[in-house]
Amino acid sequence: MQEKFYQTNSVEETYLFGEALGRCLAAGDVLALDGELGAGKTTISHGIAKGLGITSPISSPTFTLLFEHPAGTGNLPLFHFDAYRLTDEMEWYDAGFMDYFDNQGVVIIEWASKIKNVLPPTAKWLYITTDLVKPNQRIFRLNIECDSSFNLEHLTAWEITQELKLDLY
């Protein structure tokens, strides 16, 4: 398991960070997003969609469980879930959503901790934390499997050192 920390200081930077992240993703990848209300899960998802070359309109899935976006220039469709309204994994399972883990697109799940017990072990986790004293700052903790083909170098511009990550967890 690799763990890296990143920081952004504005909505725009989070979008750009997402765009770079989107360029790192490959067919079958599942990105689990975790973070409180307003942490930036939807913002980064929109950036990721841009990075995947998605051209269809992206809207917030706040009142919808799933937004499907046909493949754009990156040739990967995006399945953007928001699990906020799910009570537990059983609802995910009953809705037939397990099938999405076995496809040739990219899956992003906001509030992924709600369904953590059914996520594939290869899921990449991105934990977002906010700081009340710095309202425009976001710290991102990315956990990915060591054997992943994921190229972290694309994200170097936002990386922060161990010393800077404060006492986050």
Ligand X SMILES: Nc1ncnc2c1ncn2[C@@H]1O[C@H](COP(=O)(O)OP(=O)(O)OP(=O)(O)O)[C@@H](O)[C@H]1O
Which does residue 37 bind out of Mg ion, ligand X, none, counting CB within 5 to 8 angstroms by kind? ligand X
CB distance 76 to 25 below 8 Å: yes
Q: Which is nearer to ligand X, 38 or 70 (CB)?
A: 38
**Residues 7-46 as x/- pattern, contact with ligand X by CB under 6 A:** -xxxx-xx--------------------x-xxxxxxx---
Considering the complex, what minimum distance in angstroms separates the CB of residue 135 from Mg ion? Answer: 17
Indicate the residue among 45 and 52 with the shorter CB distance to ligand X. 45
Q: DSSP characters for 32-60?
A: EEE--TTSSHHHHHHHHHHHTT--S----
- Report the run of H or E that residue 89 belongs to, with start and end: helix 89-94
- Our CB check for ligand X shows the closer of 55 and 136 to be 136
- Residues within the interface to Mg ion (CB under 5 A): 41-42, 110
Tell me which DSSP letter residue 20 carries: H
What mask, x for binding ligand X by CB under 6 A, covers residues 105 to 124?
A: -----x--------------
Beta strands in the chain (DSSP E): 2-8, 30-34, 66-69, 78-82, 106-110, 124-131, 134-144
Residue 36 and residue 129: Cα distance in Å, rounded?
Answer: 8
Applying CB under 6 A, which residues contact ligand X? Answer: 8-11, 13-14, 35, 37-43, 62, 110, 136, 138
